[in-house]
Each structure stands twice: as structure tokens, then as C-alpha cells.
Amino acid sequence: MVKVLIDGVEVEVEPNSTILEAAEKAGLKIPTLCYFPGLFVEATCRVCVVELSGTGRLVPSCVFPVSDRLSVETDNVRVREARRIALEAILATHRIACQSCPRKGACKLLELCREYGVEGIPVCAECLLYGGDCLLTREEACLGPITNAGCDGVCLREGKPCVGCRGPIVSRDTVREAVKLYVGYGVSLDMVLSRFSVYNSSQPDYCRIVKLLSNLAEEERHNQGV
């Protein structure tokens, strides 16, 4: 058995265990994303990084073996910053189509993004957690597909359309995905835009996003031959 210091908490663990296992024993939670023991442990997502105290080195806790008197910090500024950028990088290459995603909102990525303040996942992902029908099927001009998730607001549970209070997602791919839904369900884009202006007209990028929305809608209509 070796003694390890995790965030100042001393625990005794087997000599060949990982920092993640030691942290679990110490009752601390380190977020993971690509870690599936017995199936895939390759330390590729780098969300579970922790800092080796005193060295400033960030190491993935899921595979890094403990050694005697090893001291790590699991939640300092540098660690949180690294995790945030890792999540942003994952989102940058993630096809965000929560409405059609089989996970139906039960999504670890969403959870972590919310925890680390990463924007870019639409409200739909959260809405799906509460069940119920998508408001777009009732041709409601819901702003969920183009609004940042994280509000956990009352509208989600009440079945009210989203009014976009957490600000728009500016990623072109996400907006394209949203426009596909709007055009597909026959939601009027004018209604969407007028609702959008309620909270977002003071956004610095307001004009740009409106233009993007209209252009993409035009494109989508053209594609569908409407």
C-alpha cells in the first residue's frame, strides 16, 4: 500500500492503482469522458487531467499510476482551465445535433460543459431530459436549437417555448442544424427572428447571426425545393 495526497486528503491505495482510483477512494470526483474501464482506457480526452503538485505538470488521472507520497491537485485554476479548453476543443469537432442524438440529453459532455462554463450546446439537449414532445412539432417558434444550454429554467418543465435568454450559439454548424429543423417542421422564420430579438438584439453579433439565420434558411428551402 502506498500513501497518496489528493487535494491534501491522505489515502492509502494499492501500489499499481491510478490517481483516479485513489481520488475515488478519497471521496473526490474527477470528471472523465473517454474512460471506460475494461473497454477503453487510452487517456485521449484529457478531461481528467490533474496537476502534480509542485511540478506544474498536468497528467491524465485515469492512467497515471500513483507512487508513494505523490501529491496531486484535482481542481485548481490551471486544471479547470485545461479542462475547459479540452471541452471546447471536443465541441469544436462535435456534430451538435442533440435533437436527433440517441442519448436524448443524457449526455456527459453536456453536463461537463455546463460545469465548466463552456457554451455551444443547445437548450434542446437539456429539454430532452424532461421528456415531452418537441415544441417544433407543434410549429412553435422555440429558440431552443440556437440558444446556449445551461439555464435549467422553468420553461423546460412547463413546456413553454424557449425565448433565448442565455444568448445565441454562434457556431455555423449548430445554426445550420437548427435551420434544418425550422424549415423541416415548417416553423415560420419570421416568428423565430422576432422572438430572437427580445433578448438578443443587444448582442454585439446580432446582425451577423440574423443574417446567418436568414441565409441558411434560404439555402435550406432551396435544397428542399420549397
Partner 1 sequence: MGANQWSLMDKCCDLCRHSSETPCRSYITCAVEGPLCHDNIECREKRRFRISEIKNGRNGLKISIGMGSCGLAVGARGVYDATLRELERRGLEASVIPVGCIGLCYMEPLLEIHKDGLPTAIYGRVEPRSVGEILDTYLEGDVSGASALRNRVGTAKGELEVPLLDEIDFLRYQVRWVTRNCGIANPESIEDYIVYDGYRGLVRALESKPEDVIEIVRKAGLRGRGGAGFPTWLKWSICRRAEGLPKYVVCNADEGDPGAFMNRMLAEADPHRVLEGLIIAAYAIGASYGYIFVRAEKPLMADRLERAAEDARRYGILGHNILDSEFSFDVEVIRSAGAFVCGEETAMLAAIEGGRAMPRQRPPYPATHGLFGKPTVINNVETLAHVATIMSDGWEKFASYGTGGSKGTKVFCITGSAARTGAVEVPIGITVRELIFKVAGGVREGRRFKAVQIGGPSGGCLPENMLDLPMDYESLTSAGAIMGSGGLIVIDDRNCIVDIARFFTSFTMAESCGKCIPCRVGSKILYDTLTRIIEGGGSEDDLRILEEVGTFMKNASLCALGQTAPNPILSTLRYFRDEYEAHIKMKECPAKVCSKLVSYAIEGGLCVGCGLCAKQCPVQAITKSGERLYHIDASRCIRCGQCIIVCPRNAISRR
- Binding stretches for partner 1 (CB under 8 A): 42-46, 49, 57-60, 63-65, 78, 81-82, 85-86, 89-90, 92-93
- Cβ at position 170, least distance to partner 1 in Å: 13
Q: Of 46 and 180, which has the nearer Cβ to partner 1?
A: 46
- Cβ at position 145, least distance to partner 1 in Å: 24
Q: Of 169 and 189, which has the nearer Cβ to partner 1?
A: 169
Cα–Cα distance for residue pair 41/31, rounded to 1 Å? 14
3 state SS of 122: strand
- Cβ at position 59, least distance to partner 1 in Å: 8
3 state SS of 158: helix
Cα–Cα distance for residue pair 49/53, rounded to 1 Å? 13
Q: Of 83 and 195, which has the nearer Cβ to partner 1?
A: 83
Q: Of 43 and 118, which has the nearer Cβ to partner 1?
A: 43
Cα–Cα distance for residue pair 154/162, rounded to 1 Å? 10
- Residue 92's nearest CA partner among 175, 35, 205, 173 is 173
3 state SS of 221: helix
- Cβ at position 85, least distance to partner 1 in Å: 4
Contact (Cβ atoms closer than 8 angstroms) between residue 18 and residue 61: yes
- Cβ at position 63, least distance to partner 1 in Å: 5
3 state SS of 94: coil
Q: Of 55 and 225, which has the nearer Cβ to partner 1?
A: 55
CA distances (Å), 83 to each of 56, 78, 79, 219, in order? 15, 9, 6, 36
